[in-house]
Amino acid sequence: MPTPPPTGPLVTRATLATDLRALGVRPGETLLVHASLRSLGWVNGGAVAAVQGLLDALGPDGTLVVPTQSGDLSDPALWSNPPVPEEWWPAIRATMPPYDPLVTPSRGVGVVPETVRRWPGALRSAHPQTSFAAVGPAAAAVVEGHAPDCRLGEHSPLARLEERGARILMLGAGYDTCTGFHLAEYRIPAPRVEVGRPVRTPEGPRWESVTEVSISSDEFDTLGADFERDRPVVRGRVGAADTRLFPLADAVAYAQRWLAVHRSREEWITNDVPHPRSLPHPAPPRP
């Protein structure tokens, strides 16, 4: 049976840039993008054209930032989709390749962030599980200083983006992927969890555990709907994608108040899973 032709719309680098400017993306700004390439329509050039269109809309003075998480660098004891045999756990911990910002692929965040990660001149933050990549004049200022015990808090690119007045572009992506909301979790009383991962040392790879803030995106769809109801959010279409644009600082401030009211400590402890399922764009780890 022949493959049916695409239904479109036909999207190009130029039409993407035009749609983004019409939505309100400004040349020279810093933009944190969560994107679903599939939602855009039939993109001539795929993810490369999508990144080109974003960079065209931002212009030479703008900076594009994306999440490039690698949550599969995590404790196999916590893997559930699928799990691995318990007798494998010690060997997996002992042999898992440590994070390398130049080599480690992103996982579960989509093809657009992975394309940005490989873009000429892109810089990537140092956290082994929740890194961000950036292209543009402000890239270094955004990604530097990402502390190894601060996934998405004050010592992560999210806080640097907030300081710079960055905005968030949800390009066909839902609020469950909004990393900005996680920064609010660091600003209200929250339990801590132990997070394991491989690290590189002068003596060679080793396994380490660090104490981190418990995070969960389980309620972010509801949080996002309330945020959009109560705060100014620019909505429109880019290609075929439902798209939202708003200041990161507004999202963090709203989420801080919302989570303090709607999330109990017991729910938080139950829901937190310090591996890819707790990260934006969940993805099952593979051994």
> What is the tens place of the pLDDT at every residue in 107-120?
999 999 999 999 99
Nearest to 151 by CA among 221, 227, 217: 217
Q: Please indicate, yes or no, whether the overall pTM of this predicted structure exceeds 0.75.
A: yes
d(CA 30, CA 27): 9
Place of tokens 């479109």: 8
The pLDDT tens digits for 234-278 are 999 999 999 999 999 999 999 999 999 988 655 554 434 333 333
The pLDDT tens digits for 151-189 are 999 999 999 999 999 999 999 999 999 999 999 999 998
Q: What was the pLDDT predicted at 274?
A: 35
Residue 145 has pLDDT above 60, yes or no: yes
List CB contacts of 111: < 8 A, sequence separation 6 or more. 37, 46, 47
Tell me the two tokens of residue 220: 């972010």
Place of tokens 């429109």: 236
Residue 103 has pLDDT above 50, yes or no: yes
- Spell out a b/e string for 268-285, using b for 16 or more CB atoms within 10 Å of the CB, else e: beebbbbbbbbbbbbbbb
Q: What was the pLDDT predicted at 1?
A: 66
Question: Do the beta carbons of residue 120 and residue 47 sit within 8 Å?
Answer: no
Tell the burial category of 119 from Cβ atoms under 10 Å away from its Cβ (0-12, 13-18, 19+): middle
